């Protein structure tokens, strides 16, 4: 058994904060599975099959969409300067078995569209990683750190970080980064697209440059966003359609967060 990823479940945003179970995503004899354990584990090596009270098989065709010639195919890894985004098994839900595959395919379609309308502050797409006729990942230019990693190395919660800052304003770099993100968003909006998941982990920073990443949440205006996995505490949970305000409100929330202005937060913290 090869454990790929493990996540502790503390319930939903409306549940009391308490450990529920551990989700373990693993490969065994070429097949992928999700196992649930009532135990908390020290490391990926601290699992045996008998720990699982429930196991769900994840067929490969549930997370690898079929490759089509109309898409860009990437060859090689450009000397390690590219990042390969793989399907996230942690998003697997037996109730929606094709959701991962559909998200990968949607992101490829958005990226193909954006290559015809490039912007310097939108992550550069290099094409699909393809094996046996299926898309097994998406290549992007590799960037150094997320905005969250850059400004919050102590990994404080949204509220504690903002309370710790209390700067009353942004640094020169932070202002520059957010201005670039806003320009990228305005560009997306000019194409009729809303990102729908702007948050500090979906902004990469490289020196003086900031870029937007993660395009599986992108939708054309007025499209339903009910199944979009927007990040908790960084979006309005009552919004049901794609619209520019989704992104601009989230960007304003990041400005308030960086400034320590907790009294003006739009979303829960």
Note the pLDDT tens digit of each residue in 60-101: 777 889 999 999 999 877 667 899 998 887 777 778 888 889
CB within 8 Å of 185: residues ≥ 6 apart: 195, 198, 212, 244, 247, 248, 251
Structure tokens at 144: 């150094």
| Strands 31-37 and 21-28, bridge-based pairing | antiparallel
Q: Which pTM value belongs to this model? A: 0.84
DSSP assignment letter at 17: S
Quote the distance between the C-alpha of residue 92 and its chain's center. 14
Q: Give the pLDDT confidence score for residue 56 in this predicted structure.
A: 84
Per-domain boundaries in the chain: 2-58, 62-141, 145-264
CATH class assigned to 62-141 = alpha beta
> The domain 145-264 is classified under which CATH number: 2.60.40.1930, 3.90.1150.10, 1.10.510.10, 1.25.40.20?
1.10.510.10
Specify which residues 131 forms β-bridges with. Answer: 134
Give me the residue label for tokens 């919660």.
157
Q: Give the pLDDT confidence score for residue 15 in this predicted structure.
A: 67
- Rg of the chain (C-alpha set): 20
């Amino acid at each position: 058994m090869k454990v790929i990823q493990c996540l502790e479940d503390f319930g939903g945003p409306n549940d009391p904060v308490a450990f529920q179970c551990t989700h373990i995503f693993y490969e065994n004899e070429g097949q992928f599975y999700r196992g649930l354990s009532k135990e908390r584990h020290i490391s990926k090596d601290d699992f045996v099959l008998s720990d699982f009270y429930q196991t769900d098989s994840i067929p490969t065709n549930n997370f690898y969409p079929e490759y089509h010639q109309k898409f860009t195919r990437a060859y090689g890894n450009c000397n390690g300067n590219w990042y390969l985004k793989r399907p996230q098994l942690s998003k697997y839900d037996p109730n929606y078995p094709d959701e991962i595959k559909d998200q990968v395919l949607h992101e490829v379609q958005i990226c193909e569209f954006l290559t015809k309308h490039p912007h310097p502050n939108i992550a550069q797409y290099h094409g699909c990683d393809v094996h046996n006729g299926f898309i097994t990942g998406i290549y992007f230019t590799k960037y150094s750190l997320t905005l969250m990693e850059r400004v919050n190395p102590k990994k404080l919660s949204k509220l504690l970080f903002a309370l710790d800052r209390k700067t009353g304003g942004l640094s020169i770099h932070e202002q520059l980064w957010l201005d670039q993100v806003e320009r990228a968003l305005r560009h997306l909006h000019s194409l009729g697209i809303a990102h729908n998941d702007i948050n500090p982990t979906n902004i990469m920073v490289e020196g003086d440059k900031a870029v937007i990443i993660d395009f599986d949440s992108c939708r054309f205006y007025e499209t339903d966003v009910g199944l979009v996995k927007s990040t908790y505490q960084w979006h309005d949970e009552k919004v049901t359609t794609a619209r520019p305000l989704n992104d601009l409100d989230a960007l304003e929330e990041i400005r308030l967060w960086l400034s320590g202005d907790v009294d003006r937060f739009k979303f829960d913290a």
